[in-house]
Amino acid sequence: MHRERAEWEKHKERLAAEAKLFEKAKAELAKEKADFEKEKNSEEWASKRAACERENQKMFVTRTEITNLKAHVEELTKSEMDFKVRYEEARSHRERVEEQQLIIKDKDLAGKDVEIGELKRHLRESLEALEVDKQKCESLEIDLEAEKSKSESIEEAR
């Protein structure tokens, strides 16, 4: 996402630089046109014909550059739109993947909750069984003590 953002920023910077170049060329053309009109109305028109032809050549080059820049601006605009579409697709895909991961984690947690419940039940049952066994042992110890006392009494009586 950061890479796409950086590409977008570079794209905007290039577009701004090209727009500045376009404005500069446009201003230069306007200046040259004004100079041309001034020279056309002067008495030295014939002697400056060669200079005018050079200026016409410059204007032709400038127009060509402007045309190329306009085409490039259109291309960049199209690239920007393509970038936006790809960005939205990537964002949508990321959201779907995150949602699927959350669903999987929820299922895992639900399974672990069931497993924990089973373990708690098993532990409770084990503790209850131990308590019953402890009570039996205590009862048996009492019976054993009683039997020992009885045996000792019988032995003393003999």
DSSP letter string, 17-77:
HHHHHHHHHHHHHHHHHHHHHHHHTSTTTTTTHHHHHHHHHHHHHHHHHHHHHHHHHHHHH
Q: Which domain holds residue 105?
A: 2-157
Over the stretch 47-57, which tens digit does the pLDDT of each residue have? 677 778 889 99
Number of domains in the chain: 1
Helices vs strands, H then E, count in the chain: 2, 0
Over the stretch 101-129, which tens digit does the pLDDT of each residue have? 999 999 999 999 999 999 999 999 999 99
Helix axes 2-40, 49-157, angle to 10 degrees: 170
CA distance 130 to 137: 10
Q: pLDDT digit of tens for each residue in the chain (158 aa)?
A: 777 888 888 888 888 888 899 999 999 999 998 887 777 666 666 667 777 888 999 999 999 999 999 999 999 999 999 999 999 999 999 999 999 999 999 999 999 999 999 999 999 999 999 999 899 988 888 888 888 888 888 887 76
- Per-residue pLDDT, 148: 86
